[in-house]
């Protein structure tokens, strides 16, 4: 990630995630007690989920961010940070009771890799488990904030079909002027 993403580690962003984005995206969805978080970045979502679920496994591909998160959450036994690629997870099928990925899909370089990520998450979720995903709606302003960085926004109109192809059912996608959120459940 480029320097503009340092904002994602700010108290202002953490407050926005905790008070606005997560409540809007999660609603009353129960993720269960063994949750997978994909792409925690600077950990704003990890802060909330790590204190509200029994066990949170946060998978981060970036070595520096994974190291920072490992140190930051070392004293929180409910959080496990794993440096890995979410398109090829080293977890058994049906392991997790729920999954979340927030404001990270636009960093996945291709639609094919985004779809592989969706399929991998579906594979490691228990039958009937929920995935809650959210990201920003693409814009020129956000593209400008991703200079020298990957910026591949997901069109919210495509999310439902893409999640169904990956193995999800009961897909609900909603938008607001800033972003989209999807709740989908694995077939069960």
Which tens digits make up the pLDDT trace of 66-107?
A: 999 999 999 999 999 999 999 999 999 999 999 999 988 878
Helix axes 111-124, 156-166, angle to 10 degrees: 50
Please give the Cα distance from 35 to 77 (Å, whole number).
14
Please give the Cα distance from 30 to 35 (Å, whole number).
10
Q: By residue range, what is the domain housing residue 123?
A: 3-186
Q: Is the pLDDT of residue 144 over 60?
A: no
CATH code for the domain in which residue 168 is found: 3.40.50.150
Q: Is the pLDDT of residue 116 over 80?
A: yes
Angle at 160 between CA 159 and CA 166, to 5 degrees: 85
Q: Is the pLDDT of residue 36 over 60?
A: yes
Please give the Cα distance from 168 to 174 (Å, whole number).
16
Q: Is the pLDDT of residue 15 over 80?
A: yes
Q: Which pLDDT value is given to residue 112? A: 96
Please give the Cα distance from 135 to 40 (Å, whole number).
13
Whether 128 and 138 have beta carbons less than 8 Å apart is answered as: no
Q: Name the CA radius of gyration of the chain, rounded.
A: 15
Number of independent structural domains in the chain:
1
Q: How confident is the model at residue 136 (pLDDT cuts 50, 70, 90)?
A: confident
């Amino acid at each position: 990630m480029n320097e503009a993403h340092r904002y994602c580690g700010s108290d202002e962003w953490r407050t926005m995630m905790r008070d606005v984005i997560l409540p809007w995206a999660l609603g009353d969805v129960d993720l269960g007690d063994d949750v997978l978080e994909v792409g925690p970045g600077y950990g704003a979502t990890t802060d909330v989920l790590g204190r509200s679920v029994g066990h949170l496994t946060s998978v981060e591909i970036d070595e520096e961010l994974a190291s920072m998160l490992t140190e930051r959450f070392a004293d929180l036994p409910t959080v496990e940070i794993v440096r890995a690629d979410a398109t090829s997870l080293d977890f058994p099928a049906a392991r997790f009771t729920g999954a979340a990925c927030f404001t990270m899909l636009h960093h996945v370089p291709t639609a094919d890799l985004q779809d592989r990520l969706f399929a991998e998450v579906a594979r490691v979720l228990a039958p009937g488990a929920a995935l809650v995903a959210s990201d920003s709606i693409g814009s020129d302003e956000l593209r400008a904030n991703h200079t020298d960085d990957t910026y591949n926004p997901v069109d919210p109109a495509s999310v439902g079909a893409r999640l169904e192809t990956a193995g999800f059912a009961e897909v609900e996608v909603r938008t607001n002027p800033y972003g989209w959120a999807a709740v989908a459940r694995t077939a069960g």
